[in-house]
Amino acid sequence: MRTVWTLAKKDLLLLVRDRFGMFWVLVFPLLQATFFGAIFSGQGRGAGQISIAVVDEDRSEESRGLIERLKKSKSLTVFESNRESAATDVRRGKRVAYVAIRKGFGESSRIFMPASAELEVGIDPSRQAEAGYLQGLLMEASFGGIQQTFANPQKMQAQIRKSAEEVAAADDIPASQKAIFQFFFGAMEQFVTKLDPELFKQGAAIAPAKIESVAVRREGRSPRSSFEITFPAAMLWGVIGCTAGFAVSLVTERKSGTLLRLRVAPLTRRDVLAGKAVACCAACVGIIVLLIVLGRLVFGVRVDRPGMLAIAAMCTALCFVGLSMFISVLGRSEQGVAGASWALLLICAMLGGGMVPLIAMPGWMLRMSSVSPVKWGVYALEGAIWRDFSPAEMAMPCAILLAVGAVLFSLGVAINRRIDR
Amino acid sequence: MIRVCGLRKRYGSLVAVDGVDFEVARGETFGLLGPNGAGKTTTIHMLVGVLAPDGGTVRIDGDGDPMRAAVRRRIGVAPQALALYDDFSANENLRFFGQLYGLTGASLRDAISHALHITGLEARRHDYVKTYSGGMKRRLNLAVAVMHRPDILLLDEPTVGVDPQSRNHLFENIEALSAEGCTVLYTTHYMEEAERLCDRVAIMDHGRILALDTVDALIDAHGGSSVVEAELERPPSEGVAVPGRLNGTSLRVDTARPFETVAQLAGSGLQLRTCVVRRPDLESVFLNLTGRSLRDA
């Protein structure tokens, strides 16, 4: 085992020192995940925007004003919706949250009303950072409404008159109290007519809207962001880069004479091939781990099931080790194997979700993609990241990956033996 | 130390090695001399167990089968191709291959230092191999082969593409190893190398050994006569007897006793401008055995 690890370390070091190879293994997949992730998520319109659905159940002038102010916020992307669709979108991860403007919001927004205007925010409890940020933005928007009211004397007068009428019509207020109120409203109306509206444009210390949070748990069967789609695909591109690199490296060793030197050394043929396989497997797993860490740190990609991810990554790596061994015998020269590997792997990637995400594939294409090991790799990784696979669900893609890997590895080893005979 | 009996290898219709027999004694430097395609490299590959022979046997130090890893541990090979990792330094190449031979810790460090010292690469030990000249790569190729102190050293055309200075350095290394008791099997198509280094030489062509003996014995048996070549000041006068073949002022005499012939020419009254004695060499041996020149074959 020590010998195998010595051989594997050598190959890993050679891979790291090959800048061109590292481009295809790490840089290209990362660029792809970032580029397509940004495009799919609308990141191009402005970094850091929170996508929310707004449900206007009040349909008042005040609720309309709030929606307009929210739409003007540079930090939000606002989609108007009904309550059911909004909650579904949040559950499926299409929107970060929904904001429901409850019935009575307009009434409660009036000055001198005892209750605060009510807003309902539906958001996954795990998204505490976004929830806090959104609450701040809603406060800002609701303050804006109150500011506008004070800055508009006519509107204020209308609201005071409406309040006075409601007090006059109320049955549960004693006549003596009604007189006091009417006196107050009259004085207030006088006050408002003489007030300089410019003073209130600077801000006013009046009670804000009351925001109630509602837990809307994401269902786990849909990605939270487009990066959770592009990163599994990028991991497979990294694995493909490793596969092609190791397939060519075996031919390079044969052509340069180093394979002869390895075979002359006191090693078995099994040791030499195992060294290559371990190195390829470690490189594939390493690139998956590296991309998931970068995805987490930079793009907020989260893994629902880390244990499952480890299994998926290992099965994917083992499958592509087999593919690498098989590809290494598809040509006798480095150029031949490099050409054959990229031709074969590109077809696998095109069919298997490396270019068109599995989630976006039409039914016929999804069925066709089953012939590609890339599809099962992406599927298994997505299963751990956002598809929330149970062990039983994870078993199928992993079993397929292992079976394909075993068959191709055996074929590759057998043909390799014939070439060297 | 090495015993080869009836060794055969065929690739399709091409017979690469056709019934080769030879033995190499402990501490001997043995040469396989032949043109490209003679079967030398295929023979080496069967000697180290990389290729399975179609017929015949190879035995190392008694009954050791080179297909077994423990037997191969005693052999060092410098392949014809530069079997090195270009993106590694000399140090890293030696460390890697040393580890494969079970060297670790202080013994590995000592072996690396020794190998770098004898091949004169200490100053460039941390440079990537891709920055080395062809001669330096050849020396490192040898260093990797000898670092684990093998009993048997197989050198397959070790001087191909090497400058004269590096070639001399390699010869000195091989002579030093031989002096330490290492058994060396050396393949080449340069007769000068075989003449300088080898105790015995096997002449190989088309997969067969045509002759095997010491260099002197081969020349005596198959080299033919010596040649005396003289350039005269002027053509000889009419009636003067001249030995050999005369072409204008150039004279060539084939003779078994070259020095007697030179003395005879000096006393014949001919005025010699130059006189050269050419002894037969392994080139002549190959020419006489195959009808072709070694360099042209």
Q: What are phi and psi of A169, to 5 degrees?
A: -85, -10
Task: Name the nearest CA neighbour of A228 among A415, A383, A11.
Answer: A383
Which member of B70, B79, B102 has the closest CB to residue A257? B79
- What is d(CA B197, CA B256) in angstroms, rounded to the nearest whole number? 26
Largest CA distance in chain A: 113
Q: Tell me how close the Cα of B86 comes to any Cα of chain A, in angstroms.
A: 9
Confidence grade of residue A41 (pLDDT, cut at 50, 70, 90): low
Cα angle value A140/A146/A151 (rounded, 5°): 120
Q: A17 and B87 in contact by Cβ < 8 A?
A: yes
pLDDT in tens, A293-333: 999 998 888 888 899 999 999 999 999 999 999 998 888 88
Which member of B52, B88, B97 has the closest CB to residue A265? B97
Spatial contact of A89 and A223, defined as CB atoms under 8 Å apart: no
pLDDT of residue A279: 95
Which member of A256, A260, A268 has the closest CB to residue B50? A260
Q: B50 and A263 in contact by Cβ < 8 A?
A: yes
Show me where the domains of chain A are located: 2-42+229-419, 50-152+197-201
Q: Give the single-character DSSP code of A23.
A: I
pLDDT in tens, A331-361: 888 889 889 888 999 999 988 888 888 877 7
> What residues of chain A lie within 8 A of the CB of B82, using their CB?
256-257
Q: Does A263 contact B at CB distance below 8 Å? A: yes
**Tokens (6 digits) for B98:** 């040393």
pLDDT of residue B22: 95
pLDDT of residue A45: 45
pLDDT of residue A94: 77
pLDDT of residue B114: 92
Which member of B48, B69, B83 has the closest CB to residue A256? B83
Q: B80 and A18 in contact by Cβ < 8 A?
A: no
The pLDDT mean for chain A works out to 84
Judged against a pLDDT cut of 90, whether residue A158 lies above it is answered with no
Largest CA distance in chain B: 83
Burial of residue A247 (number of CB atoms within 10 Å: 0-12, 13-18, 19+): buried
Which member of B73, B75, B99 has the closest CB to residue A6? B99
Judged against a pLDDT cut of 80, whether residue A118 lies above it is answered with no
Q: Tell me how close the Cα of A19 comes to any Cα of chain B, in angstroms.
A: 11
In chain B, which residues touch A (CB < 8 A)? 45, 48-52, 69-70, 72-73, 75, 77, 79-85, 87-88, 92, 96-97, 99-102, 144
Q: A13 and B51 in contact by Cβ < 8 A?
A: no
Q: Does A1 contact B at CB distance below 8 Å? A: no
Q: Does A20 contact B at CB distance below 8 Å? A: no
Confidence grade of residue A165 (pLDDT, cut at 50, 70, 90): confident
Among A104-108, A124-128, B146-150, B253-257, where is mean pLDDT lowest?
Answer: A124-128
Top mean pLDDT of A165-174, A182-191, A194-203, B142-151 is at B142-151
> What residues of chain B lie within 8 A of the CB of A274, using their CB?
none
Judged against a pLDDT cut of 60, whether residue B179 lies above it is answered with yes
Q: What is the mean pLDDT of residues A405-416?
A: 92
> What residues of chain A lie within 8 A of the CB of B69, using their CB?
266-268
> What residues of chain A lie within 8 A of the CB of B88, using their CB?
10, 13-14
The pLDDT mean for chain B works out to 89
| B116 residue type, one letter | L
Residue B169 makes CB contacts below 8 A (sequence gap 6+) with: B119, B120, B135, B139
pLDDT of residue B160: 84
Confidence grade of residue A44 (pLDDT, cut at 50, 70, 90): very low
- What is d(CA B124, CA A55) in angstroms, rounded to the nearest whole number? 73
pLDDT in tens, B154-171: 999 988 878 888 888 889
- What is d(CA A313, CA A384) in angstroms, rounded to the nearest whole number? 10
Radius of gyration, CA atoms only, chain A: 32
Spatial contact of B4 and B39, defined as CB atoms under 8 Å apart: no
pLDDT of residue A117: 64
Which member of A18, A264, A265 has the closest CB to residue B87? A18
Q: Tell me how close the Cα of B113 comes to any Cα of chain A, in angstroms.
A: 20
> What residues of chain A lie within 8 A of the CB of B49, using their CB?
264
- Between A348 and B297, the more confident residue is A348
**C-alpha B123 chain-centroid distance:** 29
**Tokens (6 digits) for A12:** 């890993």
Q: What is the mean pLDDT of residues A10-35?
A: 90
Judged against a pLDDT cut of 50, whether residue B136 lies above it is answered with yes
* Interchain CB contacts (distance < 8 Å): A and B: 66
**C-alpha A36 chain-centroid distance:** 12
Query: Would you identify the CATH topology of the domain A50-152+197-201?
Result: abc type-2 transporter like fold (3.40.1710)
- What is d(CA A351, CA A348) in angstroms, rounded to the nearest whole number? 5
Q: Report the DSSP beta bridge partners of residue B204.
A: B209
Q: B69 and A268 in contact by Cβ < 8 A?
A: yes
pLDDT of residue A43: 46
Q: Does A210 contact B at CB distance below 8 Å? A: no
Taking the alpha carbons of B256, B257, B259, B264 in that order, is the dihedral positive or negative?
A: negative
Neighbours of B135 (CB within 10 A): 18
- What is d(CA B69, CA B67) in angstroms, rounded to the nearest whole number? 6
Neighbours of A101 (CB within 10 A): 25
Confidence grade of residue A47 (pLDDT, cut at 50, 70, 90): very low
pLDDT of residue A204: 45
Spatial strand order of the sheet with B29-33 comes to B75-78, B152-156, B183-188, B29-33, B200-205, B208-213
Q: A6 and B50 in contact by Cβ < 8 A?
A: no
Which member of A257, A262, A266 has the closest CB to residue B82? A257
Spatial contact of A199 and A152, defined as CB atoms under 8 Å apart: no
- What is d(CA A182, CA A189) in angstroms, rounded to the nearest whole number? 10
pTM: 0.71
